[in-house]
Every structure is written in C-alpha cells, then in structure tokens.
Amino acid sequence: MALVREVDIDELVAENKRRYDEIYGTYNPWTGEGCYDFEHRELLELPDFMIKKMWVPRECMRTLLYRGLKQLGSMKEYIIRVWGKEYNEKSYYTKQLKMVLTFEIMKVRFREDPEF
C-alpha cells in the first residue's frame, strides 16, 4: 500500500484549485471577460458607455466604428469629431445621438460576439 505524503496532498489540492478556477473562474459575457478564445479579444474602454470595459473579439475591432471609439476613447468624442455634432449632456438631441451610437455599438457586438 502506497503512503500518501503531505506534499502529495498539497500538490493535489493546488491542482484541484487550479482546475476549479479554470472551470468556474471569472466569466462575464457582458464584458467579455473569461469568454472563449480570450487571447483573441481586445480591450475597449469607454467611460461614458454602459459597459465601461469590454473585451471584444478582434472582428469587432476591425470595424471603423470600434477603431474610432478606441482611438478617441469616448462616445462624446466620437459624436463630436466623427459625426461633427454638438454635444450637450442635457440636450434631448444629444441623448438621441447617444442612443443611436449605443445601438450601433451593440449591433456590431451582437454580430461578432456570439457569447454576448
């Protein structure tokens, strides 16, 4: 009969924890964190969007919309610089523009990110 040493037990517990974390670790399809093929995702940070940090597939980042958003860093800058519109947080017109831009962001994400 083989004796189980304390070192063996510690190694087994550590391996069990590693496997558990791999299976049940961080997974958030809303942000893209922990999604499949994670190494092929890029971080898009938009402080004025409902999802501040999104890990999106590279296919999303190939679109002009996502490249522009990443370069400019916010929805506000995109509306001002790309669309050439005035931006006033309290304006009904600005709220409509933000809604349209949100729709366009989501449309690309729905098309390219099946886990979203």
Stated pTM of the model: 0.77
Q: Report domain extents, the chain.
A: 6-112
Average pLDDT over residues 12-39: 85
Q: What is the pLDDT of residues 42-100, one digit of tens each?
A: 999 999 999 999 999 999 999 999 999 999 999 999 999 999 999 999 999 999 999 99
Residue 19, token pair as written in the block: 């496997």
User: What is the C-alpha separation between 50 and 53, in angstroms, rounded?
Assistant: 9
Pick 36 or 114 by higher pLDDT: 114
What's the half-sphere exposure (Cβ side, CA atoms, 13 Å) at 74? 6
